[in-house]
Amino acid sequence: MSPCLSDDALERVHADLGSIAERAHLAGCAACTGRSRRMRRDLDLITAVLRETREPLTHVAPVRRRWIPAAVGLSVAALALLVWVEVAVWRAVTPVPATMQPQEVAAILSDVSASLFSVNGDPVRSTADDGPLTLEGMARDVDSTLTGDEP
């Protein structure tokens, strides 16, 4: 004789989904028949409750959206990862540009100025050699360029 049916198999037989072998076993096995009767009683109880009793007053559960906590968690994790990459990794591998000294900046600016105000392609003499840039000096340079006089 075949081994007794599992609960799952018994429920399949109840739903008329059981195989011929399972049904044959149920017909000949007292233990399984007893369990099947118990199952039938459970079903009777369930139908009696649904048919004859009032549904308890409860807050209806909102639509279960199980993906929301997971999505929020993933978003937070992604954001944290992004911040960490920015702070710890990106800054570590990106070379910090060397800062220039004020004198170098002044020299570059005066070169640019000389190129802009050059006459006949001859660059105006850089004022960086004469010392730091001053407003008066720059005004003098502009005047001389406009009048054509050498400063």
Partner 1 sequence: MIVAAHYGRLRRLCRLLLGDPQEAEDVVQEVFLKAHEAERLARAPMDWGAWLTRVAVNGCRDRRRAGGWMRFRLRSTHIDDLPLVADTPAPSEAAISEDTRRRIWAAFRDLPRRQQEVFALRYIEEQPTTDVAQALGLSPGSVKRHLYRAVRHLRRALGDAR
Q: What is the rounded distance in angstroms from the CA atom of residue 117 to the CA atom of residue 128?
A: 15
Interaction between residue 48 and partner 1 (CB under 8 A): yes
The residue (of 60 and 68) whose beta carbon lies closer to partner 1 is: 60
Q: Which of 124, 113, 115, 121 lies closest to 149, judged by CA?
A: 124
Interaction between residue 65 and partner 1 (CB under 8 A): no
CB of 26 to partner 1, least distance (A): 15
The residue (of 47 and 103) whose beta carbon lies closer to partner 1 is: 47
What's the length of the chain? 151
Q: What is the rounded distance in angstroms from the CA atom of residue 5 to the CA atom of residue 30?
A: 11
Which residue in 4, 21, 46, 74 binds partner 1 (CB under 8 A)? Answer: 46
Q: Which of 105, 103, 127 lies closest to 115, judged by CA?
A: 127
Q: The dihedral of CA 29, 31, 34, 35: what is its sign? A: negative
Interaction between residue 42 and partner 1 (CB under 8 A): yes
Interaction between residue 147 and partner 1 (CB under 8 A): no
CB of 66 to partner 1, least distance (A): 13
Q: Name the site residues for partner 1 (rule: CB under 8 A).
A: 8, 11-12, 14-17, 39, 42-43, 45-63
